Amino acid sequence: MTILHSLIFGIVEGLTEFLPISSTFHLITVGRLLGLESNPFTSMFEVVIQGGAILSLLFIYTQTFLKNHTLTLKVLFSFIPTAVIGLILYKVIKGVFFSTNALMLAVFVGIGILFLLIEHRVTLGKLSLHKSLTSISWKEALLIGLAQSTAVIPGVSRSGSVILLMMYLGFRRDEAAKYTFLLSVPTILAASFLDLYQNRLIFVDNPANFTPLAVGFIASFIVAYLVVQWLLHYLGSHTLRLFAWYRFAIAIFILFILGV
């Protein structure tokens, strides 16, 4: 992996980690477009640059965690089913979905369709988005954690699954986005620390690996910080339709380029 590759991956990670468009799907696709083979280093690299994205959230939300203990506890409660299901099913799902372009693409498009369906219900007045995070219950926190656990499937997206469920429960789009940002912190930190520990010898055997990791990490941090600020503002007055149409457009592009 060259420095240019690591920069591209860092930018892609920062752009896609918190938007409801699946960072995993994009990283896998970009890797294939660049002709990079999957190996232990590239797998660890993808987790490390997620750490850059998470650092941007810590810059924004540390005070929220420290001042709102009840909300913090509910975020941690939401994390439990994600951790349990992710550990149990990750190897199975990785073996099926990560290696099958058609399945990943079908999931990617399917979530876009769900975006349009739920926004259609809102337009018809069948769904009212009025709730804020101050009203989230423990039961809702558990359901949100279960929804996020589906993001282990490439194409789903952590933010996409959480925002969809929270809208269904009546939460405002921007409040749902804020919760998914908060929930991303323990989720991605846990995955990052686990993967770094399991692949710690990659650093020991080849210290030169540090440079591309650092470049990707920094790029991811800067871009993700800007994206989080933009998304909160955008969802305060816009729908999810833009992200649905984006998913459809990217799917058509991939079908044309990769011939899935």
**Which string of DSSP letters, residue by residue, matches 16-57?**
HTTTTT-HHHHHHHHHHHTTPPP-HHHHHHHHHHHHHHHHHH
Q: Give the amino acid at 138.
A: W
CA distance 56 to 257: 33
- Which residue did the predictor score with more confidence, 144 or 205? 144
pLDDT band at 69 (very low <50, low <70, confident <90, very high): very high
Mean of all residue pLDDT scores within the chain: 87
pLDDT band at 119 (very low <50, low <70, confident <90, very high): very high
Which residue carries 């994009």 as its tokens?
26
Contact 181, 57 (CB under 8 A): yes
pLDDT of residue 152: 79
- Which residue did the predictor score with more confidence, 146 or 47? 146
Q: Which two tokens stand for residue 134?
A: 């101050």
pLDDT of residue 238: 95
pLDDT band at 255 (very low <50, low <70, confident <90, very high): confident
pLDDT surpasses 60 at 209? yes
Q: Which residues contact 87 (CB under 8 A, 6 or more apart)?
A: none
CA distance 24 to 180: 16
Per residue in 147-170, pLDDT (tens digit) is 998 887 778 888 999 999 999 999
* Residue 153 DSSP code: S
What's the mean pLDDT in 108-128?
95
Q: How many domains does the chain have?
A: 1
List the domain range (segments joined by +) for residue 242. 3-258
pLDDT of residue 79: 94
CA distance 154 to 94: 9
pLDDT band at 87 (very low <50, low <70, confident <90, very high): confident
Q: Which residues contact 189 (CB under 8 A, 6 or more apart)?
A: 51, 54
What pTM, to 2 d.p., does this model score? 0.88
pLDDT surpasses 90 at 72? yes
Give residue 90's Cα distance to chain centre. Answer: 15
CA distance 211 to 204: 14
CA distance 75 to 65: 9
Q: Whose CA is closest to 249, among 119, 91, 109?
A: 109
Lowest mean pLDDT among 19-33, 69-83, 87-101, 244-258: 87-101
Termini Cα distance of the chain: 25
pLDDT band at 19 (very low <50, low <70, confident <90, very high): very high
